[in-house]
Amino acid sequence: MVSSANPLASLAGVDVLRAGGNAMDAAIAAMAVLGVVESLNLGLGGDCFALYAPGGGSEIIAYNGSGRAPAAAQADWYRSRGFAEIPAAGPHGVTVPGAVEAWDRLAADHGTCGLDELLRPAIHYADEGYPVHDVIASWWPADVEKLRADPEAARILLWDGQPPAAGTIHRQPDLAQTLRRIGRERSAGFYTGPVADSIVRHLRAKGGLHTLEDFAGHKGEYVTPISLDYRGYRVHECPPNGQGIAALIMLGILRDFDLSAFDPRGADRFHLAIEAGRLAIRDRDRLVGDPETAGDWRKLLEPVYLSSQRAKIDLACAAPPVPPASLPMGRDTCHVAVVDRDCNAVSLIASVFYNFGSGLVAPGTGVVLQNRGCGFVLTPHHPNEIGPRKRPLHTIIPALVSHAGRISHSLGVVGGHYQAWGHTQVVTNLVDYGYDVQEAIDAPRVFHNGANVELEPGLAPEVRTELTRRQHRVVDVSETSMGRLGGGQLIAIDWEKGTLAGAADRRLDGCALGY
C-alpha cells in the first residue's frame, strides 16, 4: 500500500510494488513524482527525512537528508548588513538541498531498483505533462509575485504571468532533463557538473554565499531515532534538527491524563493538547537546532522533566503566554507512507519549506530551490543561530508507530509548525479514541500558532465558547492565511488479519492505494 498527497504519486508507488520493488523503492518513486506534480511543496531543490522499519520490526533506521548552510554563512556577515532575520525569498534562505543525496543513498542501501528506474514516472510527468490538481491550483496564486521576481521561475511556473488553473496540463522539460541526468549519474549529477554550476551561479548572482564546494561536499547521514512510549504504543521520530522531539514531548506530557474520559471533539481534550503543545514548542525553539552544535535536548524526554511540565497545566484555564514560536511559518511539505508485501514500512517526508521555497529556479534545470535557511535565527549563541555548514531547525518529521515489537502504523502529517501537533492528534485519535485510520486523519484539528488557537470547521460552537472562557484567543481556520491545518497520510498494519488499512487526508488531493 502507498498513501501520498497525489493519486499520480500513489499510483507510481503501487506500480513499483507490483513490479517487484520494495517499500523504499516505492516511496522514492512516489516522492519523485510529487516533486513534479506538487513542485510548490517539494522537489530536487528541497530536503527530506526518512524512517524505515525492515520487515516491520521495531529496529528503526532513520536518515537525515537535510542540507547545510554555505561554508561562508557567518552570522556576523548578516548582522553587519542589517539583517534582523534570514529572508524567506531570495538566495540567503537557500541551504544545500539534501533530497537527491538522500534518495540515492536510501535506494542504494535499502532498495532493490536503480535510481534511473525509480525516477522514470517523474520524468514522464515532467516531460509529457500532468494535470494540475485542485488543492495545488488553489494555493498557486498566492505566490505569483514571488515567482514573477525570478524570470526563470516565472517562465516555468507561470503562464503569461498567471498560475495554471486546475485541470491544466503543466510540463517541465528542463526538470525532466535534470531527472534524467540524476538517473544516469546518481547524486553526482546534481551536486557536481552542470546542474550544480547553474544553481551556484544563479545564487551568487543574487548575492548568495554558496560555492561549488558546498554542493560537492554535501552528505546526509544515518541517525539514531528517538522514541517514547504512549499507552503501550511506541512513537518513533527522527532526532533534531527535526522537530519530532516536540511531538514526543507533547505525548509525554499528555500520557498521564486520561484522555479517553474526555469527548474526542470536546474542549477538555483540546485544551490539554493546546497547553502541552505550547510547552513543547517553547522547548523546541529554546534548545533544538543542528545536533552538532545544539544543547542537551535529550533531557526534554526524561520522565522527571515531562512530569514537571505536566504539573504546569491547569485544566480550568490557559497558562500565561509563553514566547511565540520563532520559526517562520512555512507549511508546504509532502509525505509518503508505504508498506510492502514483506511488511517493510517507510515514512518519507520532503519539502522546499514555503510555497516554491525561495522563489528561485536555477536556469536550465527546472530546480525550485528551497528556503530552509530562513529557519535559522540571528540571535547570538542560540542553538539555531546560522553558521558555516550548519543545518537549520526543521519542521518536517516522518513517524512510525510500533506495538508489541512490530510496526503498527506509518504516519506523516504535514503543515509546518502544525506537524508535531498533527502527530499528537492523530496518535491520540488512534490510541485513546479508537478511531479508524481515515477518521484519525480527517477529524477536525486544533492548533496554537504562537498567538491564537486555530479551530477547523466541524467542531461544535460550544468548543470555541469554552476555550475562550479558559482564556484562549480563538480564531477559525478560515480567518488565517493557512486555510487548513496540514494534511496527512497513514497506513496501519493488522498483523493478525494480514491486511493493511490506508488513509489519505481529505485536505489534500491524494489517496491511499493498495492491492
Point out the residues that are catalytic: 333
Rounded Cα distance, 253 and 243, in Å: 16
Give the distance from CA 36 to its chain's centroid: 17
Please report, for residues 29, 242, 287, 349, 374, the alpha-carbon distance to residue 65 in angstroms, rounded to integers and kept in the order given. 16, 11, 21, 10, 17
**CB neighbourhood size of 264 (10 A):** 18
Amino acid at 164: P
Alpha carbon dihedral 282, 283, 289, 294, in 10-degree steps, equals 140
363 and 14 in contact (C-beta within 8 Å)?
no
Buried b (16+ CB within 10 A) or exposed e, 278-299: bbbbbbbbbbbbbbeebeebee
- Neighbour-count burial of 211, counting CB atoms closer than 10 A to its CB (0-12 exposed, 13-18 middle, 19+ buried): middle
Rounded Cα distance, 407 and 443, in Å: 23
Task: Find all residues with CB under 8 Å of 254, minimum gap 6, and list them.
Answer: 272, 273, 276, 424, 428
Rounded Cα distance, 288 and 376, in Å: 11
How would DSSP label each residue in 199-247? HHHHHHHTT----HHHHHT---EEE--EEEEETTEEEEEPPTTBSHHHH
Rounded Cα distance, 451 and 448, in Å: 7
Amino acid at 376: F
